[in-house]
Structure 1
């Protein structure tokens, strides 16, 4: 059982997935910082000095923090756009790799071989028509 687990855990796909999750988590932190520390303050300035994170709606004892939700939506769109651009860039490189496939030319047979092949084919055709 240990050998099976070891072969599963050390497969290339599992390791690639683990690396992707770790990089994705770090990327999420970078995007969150970009939104929280740069984009949203600029948006707040454009809206007249409003801090969107503090936007709330209070009804009786219920507090709805829709400013935090707006920041999460902006986070999502930035992450989605970034992933879209990375995938688009990767697919562009993938297409270039496929285009670079070498075409192997077959050697051209000597004229005598071509002539003998034609004669053989004609003889075979004559034998079939006589049968």
Structure 2
């Protein structure tokens, strides 16, 4: 088994469809992130701040030294966790709505596909035998069929 060169492996990796899908997903995710960040920071966090009496989590720190950078900023971590949970909730709701729409569309398409087909046969009114829908004379009893029966398909 011959070894592939690094460049050949890289080309094969890039040429796969799922890599391109992933790249598109990352780009769209980055754009969507700014929308979700705005929703969280500009709309939801002010409400949470109002409910908590104006507490700003980002100011919560533990000093571990005398310098300005000698702090553990656990308030920023709490804010990041809240942002993540809210972002995950918004994305979950968005995906749920999109899946619901896709499911409804699929059901509508399925109903259209399952529509009953036009009958291909009919019953001879004289001998009660099954004959083709376009027949003008019964193949079994040779009776001439009424003209109104042949107009049904038109």
> What TM-score do you get using the length of structure 2 for normalisation?
0.55
Of 52, 76, 82 in structure 1, the residue corresponding to residue 90 of structure 2 is: 82
CA RMSD after TM alignment: 3.3
Q: Which residue of 2 aligns with 1:107?
A: 119
Unaligned runs of at least 5 residues, structure 2: 1-7, 124-128, 132-138, 140-154
SS across alignment from 1:110: strand
**Quick one: structure 1 residues 95 and 70, their matched pair in 2 at CA, closer, same or farther if it must change by over 3 Å?**
same
- Between structures 1 and 2, the one with greater helix share: 1
Aligned residue in 2 for 1:125:
none
Is 1:57 aligned to 2:90, yes or no? no
- Helix, strand or coil at the partner of 2:121: coil
Aligned residue pair count: 112
User: TM-score, structure 1 length as denominator?
Assistant: 0.62
Shift of 1:77: 1.3
Runs (4 or more) in structure 1 with deviation over 6 Å come to none
Unaligned runs of 5+ in 1: 117-131
